[in-house]
Structure 1
């Protein structure tokens, strides 16, 4: 019994190549329209669609080339080298598939790992170009269409070659080899002479990327930027960071390294001229032989030609509206042209998003998953549950202001060697050192911050709007860092926690039944006891021997975390939040600087992380290293006294109260 009838097989044989080339064109349209949007959009659906289109595009184009090769070989064998019109026109689609394999300008790599596979793409270039040449030779009959095939083949070969070259250029090995060629002079590091308008912001950002891109990417030590940290506004600083990270994204994930060079411009003119020429000449060929070709194949060819022209024109619009092109206009003094192109520009350079994850909300089971049994059988329940509890939040200027002012005044105080005031806070050592145990410190301080904010909520409100706003901002940082720890641990992992610690705490949290967050806070010691029991049982199942790491975690859960909670409870309200605020304002930039440059770059493809912006600001614009941050308030009396005076500047925090609500 045949699964498919002969008519179905005949229909598939007639339409398989047609469907494949049209699907390949559709995938290119998706990639060129969404490939660049992921730089400034944090939405999950865009990442999923781009991921599917990126993986499918090469497969579909290669599959279509294989079908075309098989078709011409079969007809060549059957008819002893005599090609007919029904074979000649489908063979003409092969160079369009090479064009598609070259990909759009907006995305050459989905992730950094794709750049490391440039040799695989080079091999694909050789094989698929050979297939296209085989089709050309086999289907050659000396007609006008054969000449057009040759023109499109050159355009497709250029596009595919561009992509392979750019992938190699963005590979880690190439970047590491080229870093020795980067010379940095004192004039390069001096940005004090530039203005603060849009054009000079882009120019400053571009110069920073030219200087710091390779060293930062590979975590090389970089020289300090020569600039007065009080000479530019907060808004200007973050605009520079946004533009600079945008340039970094372009260098790693798009054709920008080639596109904005003289050679790249020449190649782009050539491909556009060839594609346009074929688009003009093909209707002449069809009119001359209007009864020779199938109407369906002619229509599909017109669609491919129009699609190729539209993709080229859309790429040109994207180039003209890009930050890099505006830098070129500034360099050549064409400011009037820059203003004329403003209508094509988008002001979005990144997602401006900072996700939140609250352990208390997770404990309360406020967002149960739909169809939990089905998801559990598919082993997707835990991963999707974490995603469900990650709430997206737009970053408001008040949070940027708080972080920037703290780092700025910390730098001024350190460089001026200001002596500590006599009222420096003195608390006992809390048993946590985030410079040695970053992950454990994030977990402990997140728990402490969430619990204290819940228990102190009424007192915080009575203390005044500025104090309430300040505590809300600190909670946002706490929940963002915990979000990174739960969903992106590679950005902050230091090996201080093993793989089962965090899952054990989350699982233990779900075994308790709380009626409110207040009750959860008051019974948190019960949660720690259950977590400890879970770890003990897990160890017995895995191994009969003792495990030092497990014992360390038991000590952490049983002694160190409760000690931290007790120490904070013994402080007055203002002093307690002074300690909590100082800890997060120190730990946040420390974690940003300690995170590897490759990890920062990896997350640029999904809208970017606020941690990356803090990293760039602290390490480049202010000049901090991880050694400038201390793990305990008593060891840094200068910085801890910078926290509360920020509250005496209410004009800096003039945003609506609901904008800083830390509830998740």
Structure 2
């Protein structure tokens, strides 16, 4: 006789599990839907790791728990609660789980990679719909709730289909197709050859070509709206900015998938943005990225369609109809089938919450969406749209801050990092350390104005594609050329790779900033240098995807520099940030590290000290070092932004936004990008020959 081994689980606990496993899953699925609906829109405005982690967890859990619940119903429909009395409700619950699998309108994907799995979601749609239909089929003979179940089943199938469609539309393949211009085969070739052959023998005077920069004449009184070809006002209002963003959005789609823009597009965008103020220019970019976020990560592309409006009205009415029919079920029917009170309350909760979430979705994503504001501009007068809707924040508006000196001083307790190095988790500990000790600064109007001014000056010098390409290739040289001491500082950008040069200037900025800490805080360039310096270091340490084209030997240089800094601090028993900076500055480096120590170590610590000393000499010559440093930092930032892959920039709006992405888009609008081609040269090559 074989004795089977059983786990020592109390029968009471097993009974509780049998009764509440399905109900618990349904309650959890309902709570996750509410949380995602309310919290997902804050992804644009917040960079909190905790909030993003919770949204990510809820996003993954929503699909899992709903699918598991349908599986439990399909497998154990006749066993749950030990009775067949609840089969009707179970079939209704299975249909409701399809609604949950469709997800809220505020989030369809957490990251761009999720959109590429649209085919997986399509297969899941088919399987889960069949499973829910099977649950309903098992109760079809005596089901007293068959009409509400059908209504909810159809509504859930539609919502699940909407989500799958949104994932497909946001996938890179289809997203790239929508960015392509309309098909234009041109005139019939045979007819064109006949006309061309005839015209070659006749001298034809061509009319004067229209200048590329021609501004269309617009009647301001009759049609005061924003276009890329012309400018109606010097300072555009929020509504006008929103109305004109669609024409720029298609160009942004092309940039993301790597399309080349024509020289005509470049000149139009450049002429328009050169006339903008810094505030309106960055606001336009904020609108663009907000639109792009909604297209890539929400249901706006489907819901705000003519068919989408009808489907949304149908699903909303179906849910209300199901609720009314469920209420109208006679009381004796409930007593006859002995529906549990908790199950009845749970069903009412599913129906009621579904209706409330639909209403919230309409308010959050339909009425308050920028897409809806544009769609209704010919129906509603602008004065009926509250100003706070237009002026609401669409990104975090913050710039992450961290510096290398604090990075070397924050390794406490040291034994934790020592053990982490031995077990191979030192990198994880470093990221946790940066996350805990990093801070953020507000992206102020002064910083916007300075960056826009510097990039505008560079754009004015880049009159064609070739000079624009040259301007984009500068990573500090252009800023140094503006000073007579160019040769003196050329080594700091010419003899190092980009990431090494950033680290060198970052440490030099830290040392010089600490040295001038007694100065008044009203020096705006000083603040700008500090913000951009700490931001670029943060990107190098934490945003490897954005800085991937420049890393090279960065890890070797960084670890050697940190090792030398830690040894120096340990030698002098330094644990305070300001004392650490002052102690390094007191060394007064007169020679470069390679000349003194050789080339074995890649550390740039005392090279930065040497650079800080050279910057201090400018002050003795009654020149402003911060003016030079601020220009260098803007150029280092712009170089990184233009070299970063566009698809990486497209990932940032769902994470609170990045200043690097704003800089990238501003440079393209100012004609400083690298994805342009000369339309005129292309046309010349197409002239037929004998």
TM-score (norm 1): 0.81
Q: In structure 2, what is the Cα distance between the partners aligned to 1:192 and 1:139?
A: 65
**Secondary structure of residue in 2 paired with 1:264:** helix
1:251 aligns with 2:295: yes
Counterpart in the other structure of 1:117: 117
Question: Which residue of 495, 508, 523 maps to 2:584?
Answer: 523
Aligned residues: 593
Q: Which residue of 2 aligns with 1:216?
A: 255
With 372-381 and 15-24 compared, the bigger mean Cα shift is at 372-381
Question: Which residue in 2 is equivalent to 1:321?
Answer: 368
- Matching residue within 23, 37, 43 for 2:42: 37
Are residues 1:67 and 2:67 paired?
A: no
Aligned equivalents of 2:482 and 2:666: distance in 1? 31
Change (3 A) 1:189 1:345: closer
Q: What displacement does 1:91 show?
A: 2.2
The DSSP-based 3-state class of the residue aligned with 1:30 is helix
SS of the residue 1:348 aligns to: coil
Equivalent pair of 1:241/1:616 in contact (CA under 8 Å): yes
Shift of 1:109: 0.5
Q: Deviations over 1:461-511 (max 9, x none)?
A: 4xxx65x22111111111111111111121122243254443443354344
What is the 5 A alignment of 1:449-488? 449-458=509-518, 461=520, 468-488=523-543
What secondary structure is seen at the aligned counterpart in 2 of 1:611?
helix
Counterparts of 1:198-597 in structure 2, within 5 Å, are 198-209=238-249, 211-222=250-261, 223-224=265-266, 226=268, 227-285=271-329, 287=331, 289-291=333-335, 292=337, 293-318=339-364, 319-330=366-377, 332-335=378-381, 339-340=384-385, 347-365=392-410, 368=412, 372=416, 376=420, 380-415=428-463, 424-428=484-488, 430-433=490-493, 437-458=497-518, 461=520, 468-494=523-549, 495-511=551-567, 512-513=569-570, 514=574, 516=576, 517-520=578-581, 522-523=583-584, 554=601, 557=604, 564-565=611-612, 567-572=614-619, 574-597=623-646
Provide the rounded CA distance (Å) in 1 between the counterparts of 2:617 and 2:340: 86
Deviation at 1:515, TM superposition (A): 5.1
Structure 1 96/452 Cα, relative in aligned 2: closer, same or farther at 3 Å? same
Name the CA distance, whole Å, in 2 between partners of 1:491 and 1:589: 13
SS class of match (1:471): helix
**Structure 1 residues without counterparts, runs of 5 or longer:** 537-550, 629-664
C-alpha spacing 1:552/1:92, structure 2 compared with 1 (3 Å): farther
8 A Cα contact 2:125 2:160, kept in partner? yes
Cα distance in 2, alignment partners of residues 347 and 558 from structure 1: 43
Check conservation: 2:260, 2:675, Cα contact below 8 A: no
Deviation at 1:218, TM superposition (A): 2.1
Give 2:150's aligned residue: 150
Paired residues of 2:556 and 2:602 also in contact (CA < 8 A): no
* 306-315 vs 490-499, greater mean Cα deviation: 490-499
Distance in 2 separating the partners of 1:370 and 1:518 = 20
Asked if 2 retains the 8 angstrom alpha-carbon contact of 1:439 and 1:493, the reply is no
Matches within 5 A, 1:623-662: 623-625=671-673
CA distance in 2 between partners of 1:562 and 1:423 (Å): 21
Distance in 2, Cα, partners of 1:229 & 1:101: 43
How far apart, in 1, do the equivalents of 2:323 and 2:157 lie? 18
Shift of 1:565: 4.4
Distance 1:327 1:225, change over 3 A: farther
Structure 1: how far apart are the matches of 2:631 and 2:391?
A: 37
Q: Offset at 1:112?
A: 0.9
Q: Distance in 2 between matches of 1:235 and 1:405?
A: 11
1:160 aligns with 2:221: no
Q: Which of residues 5, 8, 13 in structure 2 aligns to 1:8?
A: 13
Structure 1 residues 446 and 182, CA gap change in structure 2 (3 angstroms): farther
Contact 2:279 2:448 in 1 (8 A): no
- Of 154-163 and 216-225, more deviation after overlay is shown by 216-225
Report if aligned partners of 2:504, 2:604 keep a CA contact under 8 Å in 1: no
| Equivalent position SS for 1:496 | coil
13 and 503 in structure 1: CA distance in 2 versus 1, 3 angstrom threshold: farther
CA distance in 1, matches of 2:418, 2:331: 59
The residue that corresponds to 1:129 in the other structure is 129
* Residues 320, 341 of structure 1: 8 Å contact kept: no
SS at match of 2:561: helix
Structure number with larger C-alpha Rg: 2
Give 1:68-87 correspondences, 5 Å limit. Answer: 68-72=73-77, 84-87=84-87
Is residue 557–residue 604 contact of structure 2 (8 Å, CA) maintained in 1? no
Instruction: For residue 424 of structure 1, report the CA deviation from its aligned partner.
Output: 4.3
- 1:263 offset after TM fit, Å? 1.6
CA deviation string 1:86-123 (max 9, x = no partner): 22212210111000000011101111111111111111
Q: TM-score, normalising length from structure 2?
A: 0.78
Question: Residue by residue, what CA displacement relative to the aligned partner does 1:102-147 show, whole Å, maximum 9, x if unpaired?
Answer: 0011101111111111111111111111111111111212544012
The 2-side partners of 1:340 and 1:478 are apart by 40
Aligned partners of 2:510 and 2:581 also within 8 Å: no
Q: 1:272-322 deviations in whole A, cap 9, x for unaligned?
A: 111111111111125351312221111110000001001100001111011
* CA distance in structure 2 between the partners assigned to 1:374 and 1:294 by the alignment: 59
User: Could you tell me how far apart the structure 1 residues matched to 2:495 and 2:229 are?
Assistant: 31
Secondary structure of the 1:314 match is helix
Report if the CA contact (8 A) 1:592-1:614 is conserved: yes
Change (3 A) 1:161 1:507: farther
* Alignment CA distance shift 1:229-1:126 (3 Å): closer
Q: In the superposition, relative to structure 1, how do residues 576 and 312 fare at CA in structure 2: closer, same or farther (>3 Å)?
A: same
2: CA distance, partners of 1:29 / 1:369: 41
**Which runs of 5 or more residues in structure 2 are unaligned?**
1-5, 185-211, 217-226, 468-477, 677-690
Change (3 A) 1:422 1:601: closer
Q: 1:221 to 1:447 in 2, by over 3 A?
A: farther
Matched, 1:616 2:683: no
Alignment partner, residue 174 of structure 2: 174
